[in-house]
Structures are given as C-alpha cells and as structure tokens.
Amino acid sequence: MLLIHCPYCDETLPEAEFAYAGEAHIARPADPMALSDEEWRDFLFIRSNPRGTHYERWRHVHGCGRFFNAVRDTVSDRFVTTYRAGEPRPDLSASTGAAR
C-alpha cells in the first residue's frame, strides 16, 4: 500500500484514507464565454498524462478532508513530495530523490 504524507495532518498515512482527484494546477478560465470550443474542451478534458513526474491532486477524505497536491512518479508510484493546495509547484531540484 502506498504511504502518502498529508501536509495538513503532517503525518504519513496509508493510501486507503485518500482519494485521487486528477491533475493539479489546472485553473478554471476566468471568462469561459471568451473561449473557443477547442480551448474549453482542452480545459475540461485534455490532460498531460506524463510518463514520469506528475503533479496531481489528492484528498484526505477519511481524515482531515482537505485537498492537497502531490508530485508522484507515474512509473515507480513514488511520491516525491506533497504540498498544500494553493501553493506553487515546488522546486524539485531541491528534493534529493531519496525515498520517503
């Protein structure tokens, strides 16, 4: 089972308490009416789906209930870091790559 660090509870807890919530850092356009159909489609459905480092949202649903962001390697499933919702993407060069 994956162990995920909740930045609000400040504890590393089993995956069973968390729910995945899609890719992170996707801002809703401020004025949807100004967008073309293609741009609106891209906002709604088109995701990066990378092989490797992925910025994604998780929710500590059986816990504090908070959404937060995580950086996960989609190949190894290793969590590089987690951080609170609303914070900018972390500088990954600072993380040593050591497994938690």
Tell me the residue type at 7: P
Residue 23 binds other proteins (CB under 8 A): no
Residue 8 binds other proteins (CB under 8 A): yes
Q: Which residue, 63 or 90, is less far from other proteins as judged by CB?
A: 63
CB count within 10 Å of CB 27 equals 6
Stretch that binds other proteins, among 2-10, 25-33, 67-75, 92-100 (CB under 8 A): 2-10
- Least Å distance, CB 67 to other proteins, is 11
Binding-residue pattern over the window 46 to 85 for other proteins, x denoting contact by CB under 8 A: ---------------xxxxxx-------------------
Q: DSSP strand E in 15-78: where?
A: 19-23, 53-59, 67-73
Distance CA 2, CA 65 (A): 18
Query: What stretch of H or E contains 44?
Result: helix 37-45
Q: Measure the CA angle with vertex 17, ends 11 and 20; round to 5°.
A: 105
Positions that interact with other proteins (CB under 8 A):
1, 8-11, 13-17, 61-66
